[in-house]
Amino acid sequence: MDAYFIATVLIFLSAVFGFINTRFLKLPNTIGLMIITIVFTLGVLLLSYFDPTLLNAEKSIISSIDFKTVLLDEMLSFLLFAGALHTNFDQLKVQRWPILMFSTLGVLTSTFLVGGAIYFLLQFLNLPVNFIYCLLFGALISPTDPIAVLGILKQAGVPKKLETKIVGESLFNDGVGVVVFLTIYQIAKSGIDEDTTFDVFKLFGQEVIGGVLLGAILGYACYKLMKAIDDYHIEVMITLAAVMGGTVIAHKLHLSAPLAMVTAGLIVGNDTVRATSMSEITEKYVDKFWELIDILLNAILFVLIGMEMLVLVFDGKYVIAGLLAIPIVLLCRYVSLLFPIIVFKDKLEFVRRTDFIMTWGGLRGGISIALALGLANDMNRELFLVITYIVVVFSIIVQGLTVGKLVKKLAHKKE
């Protein structure tokens, strides 16, 4: 099945499901598209008892897509650049230290807490799994997904200072989380010895520091090129070239493409850079172009997430493990946020009950599923894929639909 046909089907379904959601359900697009796609897929499964044609076609499309490659190596760079481009740089700068701790120490803490808790849970359910594979699950489920977070927070009425913390954390912890996952994955494959340990830390530093430096170079290059001309067509093309070219360079040099794109997007979207390098019409076209890219790829991504249930093995114990993992992941996230919040609470103004809101508002999404799909079969791939899918669906639908109410109840409540 060729790529053009698959893209056509996905965009067609995204448009149809998007219309249904906007016209009838009126939910945030992220949530509405996922719900409609899951209902559609369940309908196809029921129809298959009478005629399997549609089910076979959907399975053929899903099996033809390497979800991990499509999301992590292709779509993610565009989505992160678009998200960073529209992030308030001044607020981000003020909140930089808690955001840095949330996205680094928080991810690492959550990884080990989730990994340890899941290890004991699976032993209790008589599903013996190596501890290192449980750590891999902790690494893939700990980062919050900026794609899911950005789409839902816009409609949740979150106070700006808190929104900056959640969005800023999700933009950076995504890149850090991928690097942590790849690091543990390398240890799981090769074991631990002196040479491997050195290589692992070298890879971690290279990916993180190199990714940020590459993003800074790309952002500065965009700024200088856009400042030298005044043609909004070409300036939009420059930003597109930076994302596509930068992603290729990052992969070739083994740098973190997500961190590079976040850094580049923050620089290009900075108010000072905008004022000195973009005319009013250029700014309008750059913003609208990347907003459209963001909406289109988001729609396709969450349609794909809904369809991915066809590749799952719904064993009873796997489902129970997935349901029990939901409170475990939430509790571990809450604990991982406490230290940064305590450290910076007196230095920076924190919204009331930031701990609860950030815990519930830290949504998981396609990145976690993509990483779970990247597990090898001997790493209990089917088990962790089911657990991840259940946690992600709960996160996007249940947490996504209720985070706005939680904000109104806690953040805006008078002491």
Each residue of 271-309: pLDDT tens digit? 889 999 999 999 999 999 999 998 899 899 999 999 998
Average pLDDT of the residues in 199-211: 81
Say if 248 falls within a structural domain.
yes
- The answer to the question of residue 269 being in a domain is yes
Q: Are residues 191 and 53 in the same domain?
A: no
d(CA 412, CA 164): 17
pLDDT of residue 204: 76
The tokens of 164 are what? 């900056």
| Across 325-329, average pLDDT | 98
Residues 91 and 127 in one domain: yes
* Cα angle 286, 291, 294; round to 5: 125
Cβ-count burial of 72 within 10 angstroms (0-12 exposed, 13-18 middle, 19+ buried)?
Answer: buried
Residues 44 and 85 in one domain: no
- Does the pLDDT at position 133 exceed 70? yes
Q: Supply the pLDDT for residue 280.
A: 94
Which stretch of 179-183, 236-240, 250-254 has the lowest confidence by average pLDDT?
179-183
Quick check: 73 pLDDT over 70? yes
Mean pLDDT confidence for 317-343: 95
Q: Do residue 54 and residue 111 come from a single domain?
A: no
**What confidence score (pLDDT) does residue 415 get?**
43
Please report, rounded to a whole number, the percentage of residues in the chain having pLDDT higher than 90: 61
**Domain of residue 200, CATH code:** 1.20.1530.20
171 assigned to some structural domain: yes
* Whether residue 148 sits in one domain with residue 102: yes
**Does one domain contain both 328 and 392?**
yes
Question: If 0-12 CB within 10 Å is exposed, 13-18 middle and 19+ buried, where does residue 48 land?
Answer: middle
Same domain for 77 and 39: no
Q: Are residues 34 and 97 in the same domain?
A: no
Does 415 reside within a domain? Answer: no
Q: Structure pTM? A: 0.91
Total tally of structural domains belonging to the chain: 2
Considering the chain, what is the average pLDDT of its residues? Answer: 89
Q: Indicate if 114 and 247 belong to the same structural domain.
A: yes
> Six-digit token pair at 285?
């076209």
Looking at the fold, whether 43 and 87 belong to one and the same domain comes out as no
In a domain, 98, yes or no: yes
What's residue 156's pLDDT?
66
Q: Are residues 306 and 216 in the same domain?
A: yes
Given a cut of 60, whether residue 189 has pLDDT beyond it is yes
Q: Once rounded to an integer, what is the mean pLDDT over residues 13-35?
A: 93
The domain boundary residue, chosen from 15, 35, 63: 63
Q: Pinpoint the alpha helices (H) of 191-231.
A: 194-228
Residue at a domain's end among 63, 93, 114: 63
Q: Which domain holds residue 30?
A: 3-63
Given a cut of 70, is residue 412 above it in pLDDT? no
Report yes or no: 205 and 180 within 8 Å, Cβ to Cβ: no
DSSP 8-state assignment for residue 50: T
Tell me the average pLDDT across 144-157. Answer: 72
Q: How confident is the model at residue 348 (pLDDT cuts 50, 70, 90)?
A: low
Q: Rounded to whole angstroms, how far apart are CA atoms 297 and 195?
A: 40
Average pLDDT over residues 341-363: 83
Give yes or no: residues 39 and 73 share one domain: no
Lowest mean pLDDT among 195-199, 286-290, 326-330, 356-360: 195-199
Instruction: Determine the Cα–Cα distance for residues 48 and 341; give it in Å rounded to an integer.
Output: 51
User: Would you state the pLDDT for residue 193?
Assistant: 63
Q: What is the DSSP string of 73-95?
A: IIIHHHHHHHHHHTS-HHHHHHT
| Domain final residue, candidates 44, 63, 82 | 63
Q: Is the residue at 355 inside a domain?
A: yes
